[in-house]
Structure 1
Amino acid sequence: MSLNHSEVDFGKPVKFRTSPEIDFIPIDTYMNIEFAHTPKGVSSGNWITVKDLGEAWTVGIGGPQDHQVYQTLEGVFKINKHGLGYKLSFLPYVNGPMSGDIGTHIDGEGKWRLLVTNGEPYEVKFFKAHIDSSSI
C-alpha cells in the first residue's frame, strides 16, 4: 500500500477547543482537538492517546470506551512554531508516562498513524476549513 501525503492533501477538518473559548489561538495554548464530523464507529471526534502499538502511544479518536482493550490517556494538545510551519504536542491530564511531540509512523498494515514521540515532530500547516457533508 502506497501512501502519498502531500501539501495538496488537506486531510479532514478539525476543531480546536480552548478553555475559555477564544477566537484566535496563539502558540503554546493548551486545547482539545476533535474532528469536525465524528467518524463512524466511535463515540466522538475527540483526539486522545492510545497505547496500541506495543510501547508507542498513538493519537486515537473517541474516548476510552472506544478503545477498551488498550490503555488510554486523555489530555491536551498545543501548537508551537516548527520550521516553516507548526508542530503539535501532547500533555496528559495526569502526571503520566507520556508527553511529547506528535510525529508519524506507518504501522505493520501500512496505515499512516500519528504518535507521541520525543523524536522528529510532524510539521503541519493550518488552513480555514470549509465544512460541509463532502468533508466527512
Structure 2
Amino acid sequence: MKTAILALSFFLFAFATADTVLDTDGNRLLNGGIYYILPAFRGMGGGLALTRVGRETCPRTVVQSFSELSNGLPVRISTPPRIAIIRTGWNVDIEFITVPACTSKYSSAWHIPEDSDLEGSVKIGAEERFQGKFRIEKASEDAYKLMYCPSSSSDESCRDLGIAIDEERNRRLVVKDGNPFLVRFKKATPIQDPEKWSIV
C-alpha cells in the first residue's frame, strides 16, 4: 500500500512540475498526435526521416534530412497513461506512422539496438516493442531536446540524442552526450497517399 501511495505521489509531483510541450503553432503536444520533428533553428538541415546504412536492405536508420526544405517523416508521439497532452520529462514512444513495405511487419517505433555501431544509432524494425524509452526536455525558450532512457526507472540513465555524420555522410540520430539535437514539433496534416511521405 505504501509503495502504491509513493508511486502516485511521485507521479503527481512529476505532473505538477513538468512543462507542457508545445508545437510550432504554440499548441500543446497531444498524446498520440502526429508531428514532424524539425531542427529548432534554420540552416541546420531538415526533419527526421529514414535511410539505409551499412548492410541494411531496408531503410531502418533514423537520420536528419540534408535539405532544409524537407519536413522528413511524420511520427506519432505517445505515452502509456491515458492523458491528453505530452509533458517534458515523461517517458514516450516515438514511431513513424508509415514505413517502407520491407519493414512493415516489424515495429515502426524507435529503439537503439545493443549492437549499434555508431554511438547508439536510433533505428526502427525491432521484432519486439520497447516502450517509453525516450523523453522530451526543454533545452531553451525556443527549443527542446530528445533523450534516450535505457532505464525508465532512473533519470540518471537518460542521455541526449544528437546528430553524428558517418562515413557515408548520413546525418544519423545517435546517443550523443552534451551535444543534443535541438528540435521543434510541427503538427503533420494527414494525406491520402502515404507514398508521398518522404524517405531520405
Q: Is the 8 A contact 1:16 1:31 kept in 2?
A: yes
Regions of 4+ moved over 4 Å = none
TM-score, length-normalised on structure 1? 0.77
In structure 1, the gaps of 5 or more residues are 66-72
Aligned with residue 107 of structure 1, among 166, 171, 175: 166
Q: Which residue number corresponds to residue 76 of structure 1?
A: 133
- Verify: 1:27 aligned to 2:80, yes or no: no
Structure 2 equivalent of residue 85 of structure 1: 143
Matches within 5 A, 1:4-43: 4-6=66-68, 8-42=69-103, 43=106
**Greater relative contact order, per chain length (Cα 8 Å cut-off, separation 6+):** 2
Q: State the identity %.
A: 31
Number of aligned residue pairs: 124
**1:29-72 CA-partner distances (Å, limit 9, x unpaired):** 11111001133432121100023325x2110112157xxxxxxx
The answer for the alignment partner of 2:116 in structure 1 is 52
RMSD: 2.5
Letter in 2 for 1:19: P
TM-score normalised over the length of structure 2? 0.54
Q: Between Structure 1 and Structure 2, whose CA radius of gyration is higher?
A: 2
In structure 2, relative to structure 1, the CA distance for the partners of 1:25 and 1:36 (3 Å cut) is same
